[in-house]
């Protein structure tokens, strides 16, 4: 697989992540107090909201890293660990295109 194919995969992941962020934002909207959903259901919604908010933060971080990796495309640093400058294995890039570090540096 060449770097152009990896670029297309990154662009696809960016679009998927943006869509996921939109869904998470919709799920984190507050429930109006005048909506009669019941006390227990409202408590469940509050608990679920905190879980979704954590997922939203992770998705936003992933999007930031994907965009950073995409911006590096075409440079000599593309596909290299930002810490040790060693080439990141293709399998890791395909599995986690937002990876900025090799496996050793990510630990």
Which pLDDT value is given to residue 36? 61
* Domains of the chain: total: 1
Which pLDDT value is given to residue 1? 61
Do 56 and 25 touch, CB atoms closer than 8 A? yes
Per-residue buried b or exposed e for 41-50, using 16+ beta carbons within 10 Å of the residue's own CB: eeeebeeebe
88 burial level (CB within 10 Å; 0-12, 13-18, 19+): buried
The overall average pLDDT reported for the chain is: 87
Residues in CB range of 79: below 8 A, 6 or more apart: 3, 6, 87, 88, 93
Does residue 52 lie within any of the structural domains? yes
pLDDT in tens, 6-34: 889 999 999 999 999 999 999 888 766 66
Domain carrying residue 13: 3-77
Does residue 103 lie within any of the structural domains? no
Which pLDDT value is given to residue 101? 92
Does residue 93 lie within any of the structural domains? no
pLDDT in tens, 33-68: 666 666 677 778 778 888 999 999 999 999 999 999
The CB density around residue 81, as the number of other CB atoms within 10 Å, is 19
pTM given for the model: 0.80
């Amino acid at each position: 697989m060449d770097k152009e194919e990896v670029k297309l995969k990154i662009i696809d992941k960016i679009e998927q992540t943006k869509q996921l962020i939109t869904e998470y934002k919709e799920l984190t909207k507050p429930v109006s107090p005048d909506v009669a959903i019941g006390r227990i259901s409202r408590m469940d919604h509050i608990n679920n909201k905190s879980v979704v908010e954590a997922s939203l933060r992770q998705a936003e971080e992933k999007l930031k890293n994907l965009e950073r990796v995409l911006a590096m495309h075409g440079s000599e640093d593309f596909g290299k660990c930002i810490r040790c400058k060693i080439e990141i294995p293709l399998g890791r890039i395909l599995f986690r295109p937002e990876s900025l570090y090799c496996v050793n540096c990510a630990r």
